[in-house]
Amino acid sequence: MRLERVLAHSLQNTIPGLVVYKDEISWNASPSYPYMLTSLTGKSRESMGTGLYDFKDHDSKTKIFRTNMSIRFTCRCLAEENMSGNDSVEALVRQVDCALQELKMNGSATLTDPESESPIRISYLEYLSESDIQSLTDKLPVVYQKTLSYRFRAVEIFSQTESFVPIHKISQTL
């Protein structure tokens, strides 16, 4: 979920006018066009050495996880005066694809989560697929849509902090 949030924030800042939502429910709260939905379609953790943790530092307070995730980006647009709906959604998908390919060209990128302020390093990304989806014609205006899927390898760093509470300050209420 953190990687989705970081990528959504990055794409929203890169592409002018794009609004990114987690799901249809959040879009219904404040509808806007063009928009993009993110969906986690696959997630796996690679086991190296210790299994659960890929790496540990010498004091074992920082743990680094390496996770592979597949994310589908669903772009949705309306027809415009000077452009058909299919052309609009195709242009939006090209912008999203270019922004993601820019991350790939750099080899890796470190992005900051806007909520937790913690860094997430994208060490690898791979284009998976692009597909046209049938237009949403159940209500007007007609919404044109297309999906783009990528696989990411994210490295997340978690620091453990220990907090001690003196035993005399713990009280129980029965």
Helix 2-14 and helix 85-105: axis angle, to 10°? 110
Least confident residue range of 16-20, 145-149, 155-159: 155-159
Is 107 a residue whose pLDDT tops 80?
A: no
Tens digits of residue pLDDT in 118-144: 888 888 888 999 998 888 888 788 899
**Kind of pairing, strands 19-21 and 35-45?**
parallel
Query: Which domains are seen in the chain, by residue range?
Result: 2-160 (3.30.70.1700)
Q: How many CA atoms are closer than 13 Å to the CA of 5, on its beta-carbon side?
A: 11
Q: What is the pLDDT of residue 112?
A: 85
Type of residue numbered 64? I
**CA 54 from centre of chain:** 22
Residue 82 amino acid letter: N
Q: Which residue matches tokens 């879009």?
A: 27
Q: Encode pLDDT of 45-70 as tens digits.
A: 654 444 444 455 555 555 666 788 89
Q: Which distant-in-sequence residues (6+ apart) come within 8 Å of 44 by Cβ?
A: 67, 68
Classify 24 as helix, strand or coil: helix
Rounded Cα distance, 96 and 24, in Å: 19
Mean of the per-residue pLDDT values of the chain:
80
- Write down the pTM of the prediction: 0.76
170 Ramachandran zone, left/alpha/beta (phi>0; psi -120 to 50): beta
What the block records as the tokens of 124 is 């690898």
Percent of the chain with pLDDT over 70: 76
